[in-house]
Each structure stands twice: as C-alpha cells, then as structure tokens.
C-alpha cells in the first residue's frame, strides 16, 4: 500500500478506510489491553496516534516499537475519541523498519538541552524543535524566492569561489588547489599562489554584491540567495562561518527606495511565516518564547523608525546606560547599542542611515557633507543588525578615490570600476542574513540552532 503523509491523514475524513504511514516513534504508552503509539514523519509537528489492541499485538510483537524506532503501520482511520486530535489509526499491521538502540543514544525523560543537541547535529532534526525550525526555514527560503519573483526580480547566481573581497575586510577562507602539505614556495618562504590552478588568489565569497551590481546594471532588478563564508573568529550567538545571504540589487533605486523595499520584504517574510507555519510557530511559542507570535504580528503592523547614525549616537550618549563599549561619533555600533535603540528607546525596528564613511565599505555613495555615506542598517529586536545596505557610488572618480583610500589595488577590481565608465547608473541594494531572519522568526536565541549544520570555529563535524 502506498504511504500517506501524516499531515494529510490528520486532515482526512475518510473514516473506515485503510492507510499506510511510516515514521519515527515519539512515545509508546498504554495498559494490558491496548498500546498507544505517537508517530511522527516530519511532515508536520503533530503526531498521529496509532492504537494497537492487545488482542492483535502482543507485548512481544511491540517490544522493538520504542521511542526513536522507525516503523511502518497499516491501519484503519477512525475518528479519535481523545481530545486534541481529530483522527487516529487502528493498527492492522506494524513493521519495524529500524530499531532504536538505547546504547547508541540515550533519551532524556525531560528532553535534551539545545546545547547538547548541537553536539549531535546528525540526530537533532528528529526532535520536535528542529523539525519545527527546519520546516520554517524551508518556508522562509521559498518565500524569499516568491517575493522577488512576484516583483519581477531575476535570481542571479553569483560565484561561490571568487577573486573579489566585497567588504575589503580580511575575514575570508582562502581557496586553493595546492597540496597543503607541500605547497610551492616563493624564495622568501611564502606560499606561491601563482602556481595554483587558478593562477591567482581566490577565496570563498563573503558577499555576492559586487557581482550582483553587474547584474542590476543590465537586468534592472536582481537578487542573489546563497551560501556566504566569513572566517569570523568570534563566538557570538549571531555569527556563523557559513551562512546564507539574500542580496537584492536594483538599478534606479535611491536609498529611500532601498529602505522601502527592505521594510516591505521583512514584513512580507514575517507575514508569510504567520500564514504558513502556524503549527510550528505555536509549538515554539509554547515551548520557548511566550511572546513570539505577538512579536511577529507587531513587526508586520508597525512602521519602522528611520533615523540617522548621528542622531542615534546622540540618543545613546544621552541614555545614561552603562554600555560595555563607549559610543563616539565615528565608531561602529555594537549589538548592545543596536538593541538598546530598538528594544528600549524606539520599541520597534529601526533603520539607521548615513553612517560615517570610514566605518563603512568603499562602495557606498558619498553624501555632500564629505563625512557620511548613504548606508542603511536595519535593526531588529533581540538581534540588532539584520540587514546592511546602501545606495552605491556610481561616480567613477569618487569611487576610485575611496578604492585608493582603503588600499584596494585598482587592478584587482578593474571590472567593477569599469561599470562606472560604461553606462553607469544610480543603484542600491542590501544584504539580509538568512539565519538572522530565522532567529527572529523562530525566537531561537542562538544562530547555531536555526541552520541544519552549523559551522563555527569549534564545529568541524560535517
Ligand atoms: P555584523 O555587524 O553583525 O557582524 P556585518 O555588518 O559584518 O554584520 P554585512 O557585511 O553588512 O554584515 O552583511 C549583511 C548581513 O549579513 C548582516 O546584516 C547580517 O544579517 C548577515 N551576516 C553578516 N555576517 C554574518 C555572520 N557571520 N553570520 C550570519 N549572518 C551574518
Ligand atoms: Mg561583521
Ligand atoms: Mg555591522
Ligand atoms: Mg553591516
């Protein structure tokens, strides 16, 4: 008999008919007359209750049906007399597909901590929590593509292996085809990358933006959505070494159009989760964070505050708060400052604009004041920065001045500079960290718990 997914069966009204389900046993309980097995197959957070009468299934028959085991059940669908579940399956045949060896993995009565589950990332998708998170993650990825597709943006696949370093920062993973044990050396003892297969230094992408700009200046509106790598040696709850980023880039958008799009996009994604992930959100709301759903609804209904970096610094200086890091005009804001602005001062999401030129990347459009650039960071409650973006400098001379100032070799990004000499266009874009979005939508506190296989300085399992 063909398998039916539990999510479909729970909504079925075909009582009296036989169905087959396959999944993993959550619990088994009962008495000498009957056993009740809660079965989950990952298609929904909800389990189906399997009823196995002692007249048909002896204790011996069911001895391998333990928590964690994988079973196949054929049975008759009946209306459930129990509260809180619409249907149950009266077992006719139960086959154990995979036993769950208690020596391999010991279940805790009260459930495992998130910290422990990180150590067994190969099994944690089996838990209710990670089932919920991973289904929500799927829906969010789908919603990202739907949002941009509906608006006519082109999904542009920017390279993973690249010679460019969009941020001008040093946090890159070098890619090499060299024999790591015996790399060819220069006379001074350094590694000779020129003998590498690629013939030049290459790294894993830290952002698809520069290549994204090329797409925008041809197709109008594009977005990228792919894995992004930063050799962050920080162990915060919001940084990963491998994460996913969504980067729209739009010709003819100024910074205000850019902010409008970012706000509309975030609200769309949160509303999409409310509309399509209600069972999983209710579970997380109940288990971890009683204000989760209220917070999601409030973000959808509140206009974001838009305020300049300069004003934000004044607010922080006058706040009387004891911050770990002091705030002066010209320093980058830390998560503690961002969260103060969002959670304590404005009590809503904030878009900060017009940052000092010297703390932002070289490609941002310079303001007339000669000190600030048209940057925008979107700050969210519980998170801090969720989006970083800007209007881009489209003027060749101005861009070249910044390239030289920050010490980038002109010849390393000649192709990028050339776009400013060949039909340059005003344009803007931003980057949304997909896992930062996931932190907000699921209410989880640690970024390692919203990606299936987290890569941080400690983890090297996968
Ligand atoms: P932060 O200040 O938090 O380190 P950033 O300013 O270095 O972030 P950007 O270069 O602006 O980050 O990248 C755009 C977005 O990508 C950020 O707003 C954030 O959502 C996300 N992001 C950046 N670094 C990471 C990381 N290491 N792990 C997960 N997400 C990240
Ligand atoms: Mg950073
Ligand atoms: Mg930042
Ligand atoms: Mg940023």
CA of 208 to the centre of ligand 4 (A): 14
Domains and CATH numbers, the chain: 6-98 (2.40.50.140), 125-171+206-449 (3.30.930.10)
* Residues paired with residue 450 on neighbouring β-strands, in sequence order: none
Atom 6, ligand 1: which residue's CA is nearest? 388
Q: Is the CB of 387 under 6 A from ligand 1?
A: yes
pTM, rounded to two decimals: 0.94
CA of 330 to the centre of ligand 3 (A): 13
Per-residue confidence (pLDDT) for residue 107, from 0 to 100: 83
CA of 284 to the centre of ligand 4 (A): 29
* Residues paired with residue 21 on neighbouring β-strands, in sequence order: 73
Taking CA 251 as the corner, what is the angle to CA 431 and CA 364, rounded to the nearest 5 degrees? 55
pLDDT in tens, 134-151: 999 999 999 999 999 999
Per-residue confidence (pLDDT) for residue 461, from 0 to 100: 62
H-helix or E-strand spanning residue 441: helix 434-442
Burial call 84-106: b when 16+ CB within 10 Å, e when fewer: eeebbbbbeebebeeebeeeeee
Q: Ligand 1 atom closest to Cα of 388?
A: 11
CB burial of residue 384 (10 Å; 0-12, 13-18, 19+): buried
pLDDT in tens, 194-226: 766 666 778 899 999 999 999 999 999 999 999
For residue 167, the ligand closest to its alpha carbon is 1
Substitution candidate for ligand 1 out of 208, 433, 451 with most atoms within 8 A of CB: 433
Q: Is the CB of 339 under 6 A from ligand 1?
A: no
Which residues does the chain have with pLDDT short of 70? 165-170, 178, 195-199, 459-462
d(CA 385, CA 302): 18
For residue 380, the ligand closest to its alpha carbon is 1
Atom 5, ligand 1: which residue's CA is nearest? 388
Atom 24, ligand 1: which residue's CA is nearest? 239
CA of 410 to the centre of ligand 3 (A): 25
Atom 11, ligand 1: which residue's CA is nearest? 388
* Cβ atoms < 10 Å from Cβ of 370: 7
Q: Is the CB of 232 under 6 A from ligand 1?
A: yes
CA of 169 to the centre of ligand 2 (A): 9
Q: Is the CB of 239 under 6 A from ligand 1?
A: yes
3-state secondary structure of 119: helix
Per-residue confidence (pLDDT) for residue 196, from 0 to 100: 67
Q: Ligand 1 atom closest to Cα of 385?
A: 18
Length of the chain: 462
Q: Is the CB of 378 under 6 A from ligand 1?
A: no
What one-character DSSP code corresponds to residue 449?
Answer: G
Q: Is the CB of 165 under 6 A from ligand 1?
A: no
CA of 232 to the centre of ligand 2 (A): 8
The torsion angles phi and psi of 257, rounded to 5 degrees, stand at -60, -40
Atom 31, ligand 1: which residue's CA is nearest? 433
């Amino acid at each position: 008999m063909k398998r039916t997914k539990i999510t479909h069966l729970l909504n079925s009204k075909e009582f009296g008919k036989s169905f087959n389900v396959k999944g993993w046993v959550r619990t088994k309980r009962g008495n000498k007359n009957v056993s009740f097995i809660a079965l989950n197959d990952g298609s929904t957070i909800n389990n189906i209750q399997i009823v196995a009468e002692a007249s048909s299934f002896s204790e011996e028959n069911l001895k391998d049906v333990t928590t964690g085991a994988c079973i196949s059940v054929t049975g008759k669908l009946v209306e459930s007399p129990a509260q809180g579940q619409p249907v149950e399956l009266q077992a006719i045949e139960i086959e154990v597909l995979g036993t769950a060896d208690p020596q391999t993995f010991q279940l805790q009565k009260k459930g495992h901590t998130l910290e422990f589950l990180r150590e067994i990332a190969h099994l944690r998708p089996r838990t209710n929590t990670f089932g919920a998170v991973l289904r929500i993650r799927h829906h969010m990825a789908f919603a990202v593509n739907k949002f941009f597709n509906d608006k006519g943006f082109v999904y542009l696949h920017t390279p993973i292996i690249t010679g460019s370093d969009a941020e001008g920062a040093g946090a890159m993973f070098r890619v090499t085809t060299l024999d790591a044990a015996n790399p060819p050396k220069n006379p001074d003892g350094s590694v000779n990358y020129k003998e590498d297969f690629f013939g030049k230094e290459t790294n894993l992408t830290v952002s698809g933006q520069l290549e994204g700009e090329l797409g925008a200046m041809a197709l109008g509106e594009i977005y990228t959505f792919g894995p992004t790598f930063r050799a962050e040696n920080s162990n915060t709850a919001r940084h990963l070494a491998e994460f996913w980023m969504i980067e729209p880039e739009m010709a003819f958008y100024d910074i205000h159009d850019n902010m409008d799009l970012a706000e509309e996009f975030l609200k769309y994604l949160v509303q999409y989760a409310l509309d399509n992930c209600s069972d999983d959100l209710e579970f997380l709301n109940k288990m971890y964070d009683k204000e989760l759903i209220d917070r999601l609804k409030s973000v959808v209904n509140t206009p974001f505050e838009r305020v300049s970096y300069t004003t934000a610094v004044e607010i922080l200086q006058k706040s009387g708060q004891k911050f770990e890091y002091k705030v002066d005009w010209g320093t980058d804001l830390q998560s503690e400052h961002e969260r103060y602005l969002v959670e304590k001062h404005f009590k809503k999401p904030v878009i900060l604009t017009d940052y000092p030129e010297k703390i932002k990347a070289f490609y941002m459009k310079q303001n007339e004041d000669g000190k600030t650039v048209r940057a925008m960071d979107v700050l969210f409650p519980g998170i801090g920065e969720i989006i970083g973006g800007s209007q881009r400098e489209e003027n060749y001379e101005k861009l070249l001045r910044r390239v030289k100032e920050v010490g980038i070799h002109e010849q390393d990004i000649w192709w990028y500079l050339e776009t400013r000499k060949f039909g340059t266009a005003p344009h803007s874009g931003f980057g949304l960290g997909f896992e930062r979005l996931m932190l907000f939508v699921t209410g989880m506190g640690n970024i390692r718990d919203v990606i299936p296989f987290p890569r941080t300085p400690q983890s090297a399992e996968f």
